[in-house]
Amino acid sequence: MEIYWIIIAVFVSAGAVFATAYFILNQFLMHEEKKRLLELKMQNQNLLTPVRLQAFERLILFLERISPNSVVLRVYQPGMTSFQLQSTLIKNVREEFEHNLSQQVYISVPAWELVRNAKEETIKLVNIAASKLNDNASGTDLSTTILEISMQSGIQPGKKAIEFLKEEIRQLF
């Protein structure tokens, strides 16, 4: 009978040693896995940070380029009719937006919504100004009306988005 107790004691001791070794080894492996994942995240972050900063830069540049003053001065050509200028302005704003569409991956959803809203507000401003003119108005008349509405109403479509993007950059970096 005593041999049974010795065998049981050996198995219990061996089981305790096995359980302890298993627990320690399991904890070590989990720690190493977490450490490896953290290193991988850090490497990805080092690669992603410059790309994200570039996305913020491109979106701020986009917002500056579609501001009423900037887009009118850049697009207007002497001799354009109001309708030609309106079409060209809207086309230009949409093309600029489409060119920067992929940047939404690198910014927050609220920031992207503000960028989209700035685009829509700029197009809306152009259309409102065009609706105030008669059919035979010149491009000069439209550009003047756009700038007047922008100045009088204080509508700066991209200003809020630019401020939000700058604040998001400050928080992230």
Domains in the chain: boundaries = 51-172
How would you write the pLDDT of the chain (173 residues) with one tens digit per residue? 788 888 888 888 888 899 999 999 999 999 999 999 988 888 777 777 888 899 999 999 999 999 998 999 999 999 999 999 999 999 999 999 999 999 999 999 999 999 999 999 999 999 999 999 988 899 999 999 999 998 888 768 899 999 999 999 998 87
Report the distance separating Cα 68 and Cα 20, nearest Å.
71
- Judged on CB neighbours under 10 Å (0-12, 13-18, 19+), 138 is middle
37: which residues sit within 8 A by CB, 6+ positions away?
none
Confidence (pTM):
0.74
pLDDT digits (tens, 9 = 90+) for 31-63: 999 999 988 888 777 777 888 899 999 999 999
**138 pairs with which residues across the strands?**
81
Looking from the CA of 6 toward its CB, the CA atoms found within 13 Å total 3
* HSE, side-chain direction, 13 A CA sphere, residue 8: 5
What stretch of H or E contains 78?
none
